[in-house]
Structure 1
Amino acid sequence: MSDEVEQTDEVPSEGTGIEILQQQDASIWALLRVLLSTRTLPHVVLVLLLSSILHIMASSGFESFSAIGFISLSSGYFLTGLLSSNTAVQRWTTLPDGAEDQSVGRLKSMVVSFRICIFPLLASLCALVALQLLVSENGALGDLSSTLPLVLSSLFVLWAIVQGRSFATWLSTLAAQRLPAPEEAKGSQQLSMSIALFILIALSYALLFAFEFITGGASTPIGVLSKNVVFYVLFAGLFTASFWFTRNQRTIAAHQRHLHRFSSRWMLLTQAMITWHLLTIWRHWTMTPSDAALLVEELLLMMFTIIMAIWSLTSRSFRSSLRMVHTKNALPIGLAFGYAYAGSVAMLTAVLDDIRNVMMAGHIIVLLTFTWLQPKVLTQVIGNHDESVKVRRIVAEATPAPPIDEGNETEDTSASDDNGEPDTSDPTSAASDIGDEVSWATKQPETLAEGVQWDDEIELLD
């Protein structure tokens, strides 16, 4: 039994799955302040500028050069992130407070601020040289430069899965906030499912109406519904499949008030993301948005993906002593991921000749990732909760009861005697009180023949 207690003592210190998710929520705001800080803004501007240039090169037939550029920049910023704990590297890659000099113009000061990008660019140059020594025509591995676009484009599937998992991690923390106290209850699954269905239908219809209005399509409520019947058929199929695959987990969660609230929120939030990705696929397929709109959408999606991916890495180690990703290297690691993500999109665009197909493929992968994570997260949270409850029960049963202090009991008895209120319920106390009122010391025992008068003369008879 002692072995079981020693093995399970560490589990409650980490808390249940719900408690862990609740502790992760605050780190995203600190991370956003780091990523969007004006002291590192030139790095963000540079990634947008260089990614656009390399994207144009890939679309113009220079896929190999573009792939080498993306890989080198990603490697350079990743190396910078590994060295960010060094004080000198921090000083070289971050603008000091109040760096703007009022004596020079604003434009010149802005140009000078890009000096913090020199170190990552030099690291990228070293990565470029190493890459050329390995995969160029006379490289150590032979001429493999033509395979780099294929390798980089194949990573798009991985980035899409990372995007889905990162967003799912963030949504799970939102669902775990401000939950009711853990107590037994019987939640209504039909009610929560009906509320989610109503909200999703209303939001999807509002977005469809807005998209139809912007693109000059159907402008009447009936016209929007009739034109997008196929979308709602797909929506109904995904909604039914999601709630069917999670029926067992939601049934178990319904017996605990806080777990039922979490599962209801989780299903609503993730189903909203699934509906959004389905709506985006449908919009790209039927409404044909402009290339400028697609480019802006892809840039926004890339930024949100980078933020969520870095947050998912920092959420568990953001405030711990063992930090894999922390505030000092969150930005360079995020930019390294951004260059790799942008390179994959650029390579796929060059292969598929249309960025719409690339984005639709990415949205399909993210949609499937959310569908896969819905029951998985519920199973993990409910399982961790049950395991924590079991561990606490084992610890409570294994912990011996505190011993009774005999000294305190004696003091309590003495106190009751002093108050003149003896405890008659104690048979030992009652037995010891027998004969207390008899005065044994003052009364002497009677002597035999005491009180008899004897004569002085004694007559003897024959």
Structure 2
Amino acid sequence: MVGFPDTMEEASQFDENDSQGILQSFASPSTLPHFLLLMANTVVLYVIMKADWWGFAESGSVIFLSLTISYCFAAVLAPSRIGNLIFRVDDGGRGVLNASYWSNSLLALLPIGITVALFAAAILTQLKSGDLTTIAYLMASLFVLMSIGQALSLTFGGIAYARGVSKFARPSRLGIHFTLTRTVLVVAASIPLVWWFGYGAGDFSEQSLTGHAVWFGFLIMVALVSVIADRHTSRARSREGMDGVAADRLMVVMVLATCWHLLSAWRRNPLFVDSTTGSMLVEEGILMTVTILLAVWSMSNRGHKKGWRIYQGQSAVFWGIGFGYAYGGSIASLTALSEGSLLTTTAGGHLLTAIVMLAILPMAISRVGKPTSEEPETGVGVLENREGPGASFTPPPSVWANTLEQRGVRDERPLETTQEDVVELID
């Protein structure tokens, strides 16, 4: 049995804002056909637009746009009873490995297909050829926004991580030796990736001198990025009242993510490679999935705070699928219009994402905020009542008397007479 069948019973059985509830929504059999359709449509439309079969380079952009609009429409209707009825697949608790589930899946996909056909027919019949080219350029321009959106989504995830590990106010670890240590850590983390992707997990001696220079240059670039990020965020990490150690960790995590995008752009450089490999396609798929998850997570949190159900639970899943169609359509449109390849298109996107992440890093650190606890719980409050290392703690007389009175015990301790009391009696 695949997925979480229990989530098909009632959408309200779990907290839609909870991260587990969101993951259940994504893994639920009720939305599996929509994800499969997303992957299939994206691949097929990209191949057709790239080959320009039947003049499909421009018409394909219209279909991607129609798919995006249709799933946004489905996301708005999803919280309602009619949306729950026509867009979700009920597996009856039997999972997805049965004929009944897939027949119900076709019925759930039928309203989407009808909506896409209506939108696409309206656009294709009402607009001229020049207007269709404008739509293609519009979809291609979305690639820039999607690359920036990837940077924002990954940064949001980093901020959430930093808030989770933030404990109490403590200074950031600044200084040349800390900068050097973090730089060595980032470079060391990049070396296995260079060995895997650059050398094919093989022998270093099999690489040419030019190949060694290419990947050694990448490691130098990684070191420079780490140093620049460290210097670029020093003021933000040293703000009074914040957890500087958590800010340091956020910086390292974001530098590692930035270097991953730089590695992806480096591997796709037309000077080094000739065509897209299968691992690159898998990487793009994983990246798109992570970006959608983070975007939907952010959207769901904001929707929960404002009480907007159309951004929570199953609705958030449909928003994510619409985002995926927009992302895939932007890549396909840009590749078709520029007569380039998926290689160069995605390389530019990774480079833009890395630059944006590095540029907004100080602002991201400032968004972490102050920790809820101002100081560590080390028992300082108890030690303040002690006069010295060997002194014993004695409660005030009033507290002692009240306690004995509540217990019905008479206080028979001898009164302690001080010098001031004697002088007062004599007077």
State whether TM-score is above 0.5: yes
2:28 to 34, 37, 53: 37
Per-residue CA deviations over 1:321-364 (Å, capped at 9, x if unaligned) read: 34451003011111111111100000111133211111111001
Per-residue CA deviations over 1:169-207 (Å, capped at 9, x if unaligned) read: 012212222333x24557455454334222211121111
Query: Aligned partners of 1:362 and 1:295: how far apart in 2?
Result: 14
Match of residue 64 from structure 2: 70
Match of residue 262 from structure 1: 246
Match of residue 316 from structure 1: 302
Contact 2:174–2:234 at 8 Å: present in 1 too?
no
2:288 to 296, 302, 311: 302
Q: 1:63 to 1:239 in 2, by over 3 A?
A: same
Match of residue 460 from structure 1: none
Q: CA deviation at 1:305?
A: 2.0
User: Aligned pair 1:240/2:227, yes or no?
Assistant: yes
User: Aligned pair 1:277/2:271, yes or no?
Assistant: no
For the aligned residues, what is the CA RMSD? 3.7
1:47 to 27, 38, 45: 38
User: Where in structure 2 are there 5+ consecutive unaligned residues?
Assistant: 1-16, 375-397, 419-423
User: Aligned pair 1:118/2:106, yes or no?
Assistant: no
Query: Aligned partners of 2:268 and 2:25: how far apart in 1?
Result: 34
- 1:445-460 aligned within 5 A: none
Q: 1:187 to 1:230 in 2, by over 3 A?
A: closer
Bigger Cα Rg? 1
**Which residue identity is paired with 1:131?**
I
Contact 1:94–1:116 at 8 Å: present in 2 too?
yes
Query: Aligned partners of 1:222 and 1:247: how far apart in 2?
Result: 40
Q: 1:128 to 1:222 in 2, by over 3 A?
A: closer
2:320 to 320, 328, 334: 334
Query: Aligned partners of 2:148 and 2:26: how far apart in 1?
Result: 22
Query: Aligned partners of 1:358 and 1:220: how far apart in 2?
Result: 30
Query: Aligned partners of 1:340 and 1:237: how far apart in 2?
Result: 34
Contact 2:172–2:243 at 8 Å: present in 1 too?
no
Query: Aligned partners of 1:120 and 1:70: how far apart in 2?
Result: 13
**Which residue identity is paired with 2:114?**
L
Match of residue 370 from structure 2: 385
The TM-score with structure 1 as length reference comes to 0.70
**Which residue identity is paired with 1:336?**
G
Answer with 158-167 or 182-191: which moved more: 182-191
Q: 1:101 to 1:168 in 2, by over 3 A?
A: closer
Contact 1:170–1:308 at 8 Å: present in 2 too?
yes
Q: 1:356 to 1:216 in 2, by over 3 A?
A: farther
The TM-score with structure 2 as length reference comes to 0.75
Query: Aligned partners of 1:386 and 1:303: how far apart in 2?
Result: 31
Q: CA deviation at 1:119?
A: 1.8
Match of residue 336 from structure 2: 350
**Which residue identity is paired with 1:316?**
R
Query: Aligned partners of 2:201 and 2:370: how far apart in 1?
Result: 49
Contact 1:218–1:227 at 8 Å: present in 2 too?
no
Query: Aligned partners of 1:186 and 1:64: how far apart in 2?
Result: 53
Query: Aligned partners of 1:59 and 1:148: how far apart in 2?
Result: 16
Q: CA deviation at 1:76?
A: 0.7
Q: 1:38 to 1:386 in 2, by over 3 A?
A: closer
Contact 1:80–1:123 at 8 Å: present in 2 too?
no
Q: CA deviation at 1:283?
A: 1.4
Query: Aligned partners of 1:107 and 1:238: how far apart in 2?
Result: 53
Match of residue 91 from structure 1: 85
2:74 to 69, 80, 91: 80
**Which residue identity is paired with 1:170?**
G
Match of residue 127 from structure 2: 136
User: Where in structure 1 are there 5+ consecutive unaligned residues?
Assistant: 1-25, 390-407, 426-430, 434-462
Q: 1:119 to 1:113 in 2, by over 3 A?
A: same
Q: Helix, strand or coil: the match of 2:199? A: helix
Query: Aligned partners of 1:87 and 1:149: how far apart in 2?
Result: 36
Match of residue 367 from structure 1: 354
**Which residue identity is paired with 1:37?**
S
User: Aligned pair 1:149/2:136, yes or no?
Assistant: yes
Query: Aligned partners of 2:326 and 2:199: how far apart in 1?
Result: 36
Percent sequence identity over aligned pairs: 21
Query: Aligned partners of 2:373 and 2:121: how far apart in 1?
Result: 53
**Which residue identity is paired with 1:60?**
A
Q: Helix, strand or coil: the match of 1:177? A: helix
Query: Aligned partners of 1:83 and 1:419: how far apart in 2?
Result: 74
**Which residue identity is paired with 1:178?**
V
Query: Aligned partners of 2:320 and 2:313: how far apart in 1?
Result: 11
Query: Aligned partners of 1:377 and 1:232: how far apart in 2?
Result: 25
Q: Helix, strand or coil: the match of 2:346? A: helix
Q: 1:30 to 1:261 in 2, by over 3 A?
A: farther
Contact 2:172–2:247 at 8 Å: present in 1 too?
no
Contact 1:68–1:148 at 8 Å: present in 2 too?
yes
Contact 2:89–2:101 at 8 Å: present in 1 too?
no
Match of residue 449 from structure 1: none
User: Aligned pair 1:127/2:113, yes or no?
Assistant: no
